[in-house]
Chain A
Amino acid sequence: NAGVTQTPKFQVLKTGQSMTLQCAQDMNHNSMYWYRQDPGMGLRLIYYSASEGTTDKGEVPNGYNVSRLNKREFSLRLESAAPSQTSVYFCASGQGQTATNEKLFFGSGTQLSVL
């Protein structure tokens, strides 16, 4: 059982380049999330999708866009990468439509460096 799969695991970009981080879950979960993790700051929510066909902004959405392609897949796009977006990105999914009282399942992360 793969759980939550993120690709790529590592990526180096130059300022201004674009890229898409892919995330897929095989647990038939309704909600999916993108977080970024920075040293000493914990995880911060970028965007989330409570259910297929819906997306909403989280705490730090600027510079990002998302697509909930279907129930399984939730992608994160950086249109014009900036050094401030250097971070570790985690995708997560949950069975319900909210993260407030349920267990989230996390992928293993994407380490992104923007030069």
Chain B
Amino acid sequence: AQSVTQLGSHVSVSEGALVLLRCNYSSSVPPYLFWYVQYPNQGLQLLLKYTTGATLVKGINGFEAEFKKSETSFHLTKPSAHMSDAAEYFCAVSENNAGNMLTFGGGTRLMVKP
């Protein structure tokens, strides 16, 4: 069965600092991996996804994530945080033969200090 663990339910960074949100997954087959972002009072929006091919994936708003099979990780990074990045971020995994069972992590709330 697939599962996702996001380390740290809350992360606080200063504006301009590096953002690092951690995601580890378990999957019995090659996974598809996603990061979604949720701004206050809104639904989730896709930031980026990894299916196959290049392991470094670039998404919207300057975010990127690297798939590391040996570490079963898919951490999300951004070189320089902006106030508008404050939101909740969800990592999700799906096994490529699992139909519609997209499994989400518990979420990490990112706070950006001025």
Please list the residues of chain A having a beta carbon within 8 angstroms of any beta carbon in chain B: 4, 31, 33, 40-45, 48, 50, 56, 58-59, 90, 92, 98-101, 103-109
Contact = CB atoms under 8 A, between A and B. Distances in A.
A58 B103 CA distance: 10
A100 B9 contact: no
Contacts, number: 71
A86 to B, nearest CB: 18
Nearest to B52: A101
Contacts of A104: 44, 46, 102
A28 to B, nearest CB: 18
A40 B46 contact: no
**Which of A42, A98, A109 has the most chain B CB within a 10 Å cutoff?**
A42
B100 A33 contact: yes
B92 to A, nearest CB: 8
Interface string B76-114: 000000000000001010111011111111110000000
A50 B64 CA distance: 30
Contacts of A31: 100
A98 B99 CA distance: 6
Nearest to B90: A42
9 contacts: A41-B106, A42-B107, A45-B100, A59-B101, A59-B103, A99-B94, A100-B94, A101-B51, A106-B42
B106 A45 contact: no
B101 A45 contact: yes
Contacts of B90: 42-43
Nearest to B94: A100
Contact of A108 (B4, B41, B92, B94): B41
A41 B103 CA distance: 10
Nearest to B51: A101
